[in-house]
Amino acid sequence: ESTSFAVRVAPLGSHGQVLVLAEDQTEHRRVEAVRRDFVANVSHELKTPVGALSLLAETIQDAADDPEAVTRFAGRMQHEAARLTYLVQDLITLSRIQGAEPIPTPGPVPIDEAVHEAIDRCNTTAAAKDITLVAGGAEGLRIWGDDELLVTALRNLIDNAVAYSPEHTRVVVSARAAGAHNESVEISVSDQGIGIPESAQERIFERFFRVDAARSRATGGTGLGLAIVKHVAVAHNGAVTVWSKEGSGSTFTLRLPAFGGTAVAVPGTTTIP
Ligand code: ADP
């Protein structure tokens, strides 16, 4: 990528000296491009279900004398409306988190409670595929953060694990203290699902990036889940990483600062006094 500068020249004093200011525009241009892409993506993602809804409404009008068809199309309308709702909810969540760095009112968050709350909210979808949700290791661990944001991030990871796994498998949520001085907590979500090709692993945290758009939409995905997870991690001065092997499964790991962390600085984490 080329670099560009905005140059400003201002006269200084009465001896002909000038002040030259060079401002790097590259970052500014990149941010602008990302913003434009995002708006284009949002518009596209909104247009798809809205288009489907208006088509279905027309079809229902034509099928007014066929009650069976009316029921079928009404069901599909409900499905499209639900997709719109999820998309709008995720957009609101994402903008709320992006505006909340660093998190406004952090406190000690017990990990076992957050994990159980996240699992509770995913139970129905897991049960529908006979996927067993297992949790362990979180007793006594606490992070310094926002409980709602942590539950949101965990729920997105568990939702994905369930969505991209075949029936009758297991999803394991485990937590442990991490770092040389236990200054972090690691929570990982492991599945036995389809996995993620290595070439895509770096990009999955981008907004609207999907390995397989058709499959993602079929499972009800908005393409925003992992972007939300990443922003929750960043807002906590933490990180999220992925390990995955196609065909055998994926593990997503959230690393967050422990409550009452030690005074030892560790790259990528912040020590809270
Ligand atoms: P989506 O709503 O499409 O699931 P996400 O941001 O949550 O969006 O995930 C981005 C993409 O990463 C998904 O479309 C999918 O291709 C891939 N992905 C995420 N989690 C998993 C997983 N546990 N197993 C396999 N692929 C996954």
Give pLDDT tens digits for 24-77.
Answer: 778 888 888 888 888 999 999 899 899 999 999 999 999 989 999 999 999 999
Rounded average pLDDT over 202-219: 88
Nearest atom of ligand 1 to the alpha carbon of 205 = 6
Question: Which ranges constitute the DSSP H helices of 63-110?
Answer: 67-98
In the DSSP assignment, the letter for residue 219 is T
Q: What is the pLDDT of residue 117?
A: 97
**Measuring CA to CA, how many Å separate 222 from each of 76, 208, 261?**
17, 7, 35
Q: Is 250 in the pocket of ligand 1 (CB under 6 A)?
A: yes
Contact 223, 208 (CB under 8 A): yes
Q: What is the pLDDT of residues 243-265, one digit of tens each?
A: 999 999 999 999 999 998 742 33
Nearest atom of ligand 1 to the alpha carbon of 216 = 3
Q: Is 249 in the pocket of ligand 1 (CB under 6 A)?
A: no
Q: What is the pLDDT of residue 2?
A: 66
**Measuring CA to CA, how many Å separate 47 from each of 50, 78, 84, 87?**
5, 16, 10, 11
* 249 alpha carbon – ligand 1 mean position (Å): 12
Statement: residue 272 has pLDDT above 60? no
Q: What is the pLDDT of residue 263?
A: 29
22 — pLDDT class (breaks 50, 70, 90): confident
Contact 240, 149 (CB under 8 A): no
The CA-CA-CA angle for residues 191, 197, 198, to 5°, reads: 105
Q: Is 226 in the pocket of ligand 1 (CB under 6 A)?
A: yes
- How far from the centroid of its chain's Cα atoms is residue 103's Cα? 16
Contact 269, 215 (CB under 8 A): no
Q: Which residue has the tokens 């670099």?
A: 3
* 8 alpha carbon – ligand 1 mean position (Å): 46
Going by their DSSP bridges, the two strands 132-136 and 170-178 should be labelled as parallel
Q: How many residues does this entry show for the chain?
A: 273
Q: What is the pLDDT of residue 271?
A: 44
190 — pLDDT class (breaks 50, 70, 90): very high
203 — pLDDT class (breaks 50, 70, 90): very high
Q: Where are the beta strands (DSSP E) in 59-168?
A: 107-110, 132-136, 142-145
Nearest atom of ligand 1 to the alpha carbon of 156 = 7
* 211 alpha carbon – ligand 1 mean position (Å): 7
Q: Is 94 in the pocket of ligand 1 (CB under 6 A)?
A: no
* 197 alpha carbon – ligand 1 mean position (Å): 11
Contact 142, 110 (CB under 8 A): yes
Q: What is the pLDDT of residue 268?
A: 47
Q: Which residue has the tokens 């990483």?
A: 241
Closest among 144, 195, 141 to 169, alpha carbons compared: 195
Q: Which residue has the tokens 């560790």?
A: 266
Percent of the chain with pLDDT strictly greater than 90:
67
**Of 136 and 33, more confident:** 136
Q: Is 192 in the pocket of ligand 1 (CB under 6 A)?
A: no
State the chain's mean pLDDT as an integer.
89
Nearest atom of ligand 1 to the alpha carbon of 217 = 3
Measured in degrees and rounded to the nearest 5, phi and psi for residue 211 equal -65, -40
Closest among 110, 87, 108, 264 to 180, alpha carbons compared: 264
